[in-house]
Structure 1
Amino acid sequence: MNFLYQIFIQLFCFGYWLSSFFSEKAKKGWQGRREQKKIIKALEKEEFIWMHCSSVGEFEQGRPVLEAIKKKYPKCKIALSFFSPSGFELRKNYPKADLVFYLPLDTRANVADLLENFNPKILILVKYDYWINLLKDLKIRKIPVVVISAIFRENQYKNQIFANYFFKALKNYITHFFVQHEKSAQILESYGISDFSVVGDTRFDRVQQIASQKIEIQWLEKFKGLKKILVLGSTWHSDEEVFLNFLRRKLPTDWKAVIVPHEINQQNISHFKEIFGEKVSFYSKNINPETEILVVDALGFLSQIYAYADTAYVGGGFNKSGVHNTLEPAVFGLPTMIGPRHEKFNEVQLLIKNQVVFPIENEQEFEGIFQFIQAQNPDDFKRRSKEVFNQNLGATLKILDFLEENKLL
């Protein structure tokens, strides 16, 4: 099975290189990895606390742990790696990290080159992104690897032979798992893995931290005026099919809408002007407070924009990858609509169960749930959301205590 994995990695590298000719995102990732080799080779075996995140969402999940470590050990050096260009580009200047880099593609040669001069004391993986050659080499070098906010699902891997190989590798190479819930722990146990702790999801700690540091957004306050705000965050074209017609024809006169697309480029943004005409204005241009709809074509605002909202829609739920971060609006007590693909996310199931998040499947359900939400007492949503958070805060402290007690930091 290991032989097949090596073949897979070579094919994956070839496919990644090939896609760099057609995809701007893949091109950034391929070129970024080539350019950083000189930086890695110039390192002089300084010891780092290393955190790896697949992309932006995983960084936000790992951020409270990373910052808790930096606060407790201010002199330690922090290394932060990403697989995705979107994560790297957004956080390449993150001030609490001494080194930010792309995780090399998982060939044996790439891993050897990385660890020749890069000297991590520990690797903290956020949620997933298990690369077997890297994990094996870290094990040989006696560098511990822990996984935070890990989550596993039944029937996650349809091929049982691969599942056995995968979990055997995790058992051999991962020092400890910090899992989100008991079900994940049971799955690990079924594969003979006992080095785990059930601590919850660090994203609850992160979004609570964001909410406690509310930042005034004057341009949004001016746009909102005395009206209510519907925020549609991290949206894709597949999400827009269920709400664009509603915003164009049925948005109540005492409401305005703020759209924050997941991907921001000229092609992705220009169609909003075609659809809404004079009703829409854009953050990157002059914001007209008289318009009904505002498109925020810039990064870094969404989590704080939710603080000004009265209702939210979180995108991604019509894509294969699934819904984006519902905790960001939930921490403000917002009733939130999402698409149908949400089963992989434990926090979403908690919020659905507590009637804070509402799945929809089409335009008619979007309108119906919106009307239902407006007929409810907003304080009920805030109370139920607060109950969910109170039951799930504290994962960061539990992880830090474990790492210190076991002398992993």
Structure 2
Amino acid sequence: MKLELRSRFYSLVTTLLTPLVLIRLATRGIKTKAYLQRWHERFGWFKAPQFNDHTIWVHAVSVGEVNAAIPLIKALMEKYQDHSFVLTTITPTGSDRVQQIFGDQVFHVYLPYDLPGAVKRFLRKTKPRLAVIMETEIWPNLFRFCKKKNIPIVVANARLSEVSMKGYRWVESLAAKAFNDTAYVAAQTVTDAKRMIQLGCYPEKIFVVGSLKFDIIIEDHIIRKGEEIREHYQNSRLVWIAASTHQDDEIEVLDAYAVLKQRHPKLMLVIVPRHPERFQSTTQACRNKGFNTQLRSEIGLCDIDGDVFVVDTMGEMLEFYASSDIAFVGGSIANIGGHNVLEAAVFSLPVLVGPNTHNFTEITQLLNDCGGSQTVYDANDIIRSMEYLIEDEAARLAMGKAAKVLVEKNRGAVNLTMNLIESAIDQKPLNEHITNKHFPKISP
């Protein structure tokens, strides 16, 4: 009874906070117009195709989660060719990425707010046979109504940082209930799994399968595009990419580049800001430093006189990784929690990354331990690391090779997650042989 009252109280609070959420959306829409569009979808009002009972729904918050989900979604499409697919995101950039990769192979709609009416409308219109929720998007009402409608939920690539765990404390019992409404939770690491158990998830629901990010798929066209971009540069140019950057990252990167450019005139910096609303401010910051700054949207590719090239377009980061020599991965000097270092590692790039990587603690540590990355705290650290990598080609190549080997050695999470999904969708117990062979036991 207490849990039922808490659920009602949660729904009331969520309803009361909705105007504030809409104000925040409108504020973001000042810089990114897409946030001002399709609001009705966020309340479960949308026109959907006529779905049958053979529909699989996958939710991925934004670009990073969509990228991580790509190999799993492709495996699902291969396995369940007679099914329709619904993909939901929360951000417009996530929506754009879904359209770019899957086009009309899927039906995309924004995930509704966790309001009872909106959730019921969404489930009624999409009729999912299975829900796959990427990472740890725990929405009590959504999970509760899926359970009532007998829609099995698999939380894939699940992670729970210390920061996120503290954030769930105020709704701990509801978060635990949501976890326990799932069929399975496919955790990235033992640490993630233990945190979920501390939050109240039943140990028997959790299996440690590794990170789907290691199963990253690099299509041939990305390799070809990277080669074309690289051919455009002079052979003597060394290309340093700063990817998924935020303001605090860029301050240190640009300060470092000002020094490095003086010492190494052939060094070119490619910056890929994390959010499109920052394209203009990033460009202005580069020009304020006196750099000849060119934009992807204006000239296509950087010319011979360019110092800094800002990729002010969406969905092209992998192509620019493929054409670079050294990578800095953002959100890590900025206190964001880091972004996916494996997107650089898979291209055999040596990786520089800041200290704030709590969203990717284990992956970043593995990359550091194998010699594929170095931690940098500020501009001075960046200068020291870059000098070493610029001047010692053998060390640069060895570091990049170590990064690529790490990715290859840790692939396999897609297959393990598919085992869980097949069990959930067919409502059959996991094969005991598979369980004992593949999934580590987790205890509180």
- Normalised by the size of structure 1, how large is the TM-score? 0.90
Indicate the residue corresponding to 2:298 in structure 1: 285
Indicate the residue corresponding to 2:159 in structure 1: 151
Indicate the residue corresponding to 2:258 in structure 1: 248
* Aligned equivalents of 1:138, 1:125: Cα separation in 2: 12
C-alpha distance 373-223 of structure 1, shift in aligned 2 (>3 A): closer
Q: Deviations over 1:115-137 (max 9, x none)?
A: 22220010000001111111100
Indicate the residue corresponding to 1:324 in structure 2: 339
Q: What is the CA-CA distance between 1:96 and the residue it aligns to?
A: 6.0
Indicate the residue corresponding to 1:214 in structure 2: 223
1:268 partnered with 2:281: yes
> Which residue identity lines up with residue 88 of structure 1 in the other structure?
S
Question: Structure 2 matches for 1:357-396, cutoff 5 A?
Answer: 357-374=373-390, 375=392, 377-396=395-414
Structure 1 residue ranges without an equivalent (≥5) = none
* Aligned equivalents of 2:161, 2:331: Cα separation in 1: 20
SS at match of 1:146: strand
* Root-mean-square deviation over aligned CA pairs: 2.7
* Aligned equivalents of 2:293, 2:179: Cα separation in 1: 53
User: Which is worse superposed, 49-58 or 288-297?
Assistant: 288-297
1:15 partnered with 2:20: yes
Indicate the residue corresponding to 2:147 in structure 1: 139
C-alpha distance 172-15 of structure 1, shift in aligned 2 (>3 A): same
SS at match of 2:298: coil
Question: Structure 2 matches for 1:27-46, cutoff 5 A?
Answer: 28-29=34-35, 31-34=37-40, 39-40=46-47, 43-45=50-52
1:352 partnered with 2:361: no
Choose which of 6, 9, 12 in structure 1 pairs with 2:11.
6
> Which residue identity lines up with residue 348 of structure 1 in the other structure?
T
* Aligned equivalents of 1:263, 1:159: Cα separation in 2: 24
8 Å CA contact 2:349, 2:399 repeated in 1: yes
Q: What is the CA-CA distance between 1:267 and the residue it aligns to?
A: 2.9
SS at match of 1:87: helix
Indicate the residue corresponding to 1:130 in structure 2: 138
* Aligned equivalents of 1:256, 1:99: Cα separation in 2: 40
Structure 2 residue ranges without an equivalent (≥5) = 1-5, 428-444
SS at match of 1:120: coil
* Aligned equivalents of 1:86, 1:110: Cα separation in 2: 22
User: Which is worse superposed, 254-263 or 182-191?
Assistant: 182-191
Choose which of 82, 87, 95 in structure 2 pairs with 1:88.
95
8 Å CA contact 1:144, 1:408 repeated in 2: no
* Aligned equivalents of 2:283, 2:192: Cα separation in 1: 43
> Which residue identity lines up with residue 141 of structure 2 in the other structure?
N
Indicate the residue corresponding to 1:257 in structure 2: 269
Q: Deviations over 1:60-85 (max 9, x none)?
A: 11111111111223232111001122
Indicate the residue corresponding to 1:200 in structure 2: 210
C-alpha distance 167-31 of structure 1, shift in aligned 2 (>3 A): same
C-alpha distance 145-318 of structure 1, shift in aligned 2 (>3 A): same
Q: What is the CA-CA distance between 1:52 and the residue it aligns to?
A: 0.3
Question: Structure 2 matches for 1:57-72, cutoff 5 A?
Answer: 57-72=64-79
Count residues in correspondence: 408
Q: What is the CA-CA distance between 1:189 and the residue it aligns to?
A: 4.1
Q: What is the CA-CA distance between 1:405 and the residue it aligns to?
A: 4.5
8 Å CA contact 1:330, 1:385 repeated in 2: yes
Choose which of 103, 107, 110 in structure 1 pairs with 2:111.
103
Indicate the residue corresponding to 1:403 in structure 2: 421
* Aligned equivalents of 2:33, 2:388: Cα separation in 1: 45
User: Which is worse superposed, 334-343 or 247-256?
Assistant: 247-256
Percent of residue pairs bearing the same amino acid type: 22
* Aligned equivalents of 1:141, 1:30: Cα separation in 2: 32
User: Which is worse superposed, 366-375 or 304-313?
Assistant: 366-375
1:233 partnered with 2:243: yes
> Which residue identity lines up with residue 366 of structure 1 in the other structure?
I
Choose which of 86, 93, 116 in structure 2 pairs with 1:79.
86
Indicate the residue corresponding to 1:53 in structure 2: 60
* Aligned equivalents of 2:169, 2:249: Cα separation in 1: 36
Choose which of 284, 288, 309 in structure 2 pairs with 1:294.
309
- Normalised by the size of structure 2, how large is the TM-score? 0.83
Q: Deviations over 1:344-399 (max 9, x none)?
A: 31211211222322222211111112123344623421342244223310111122
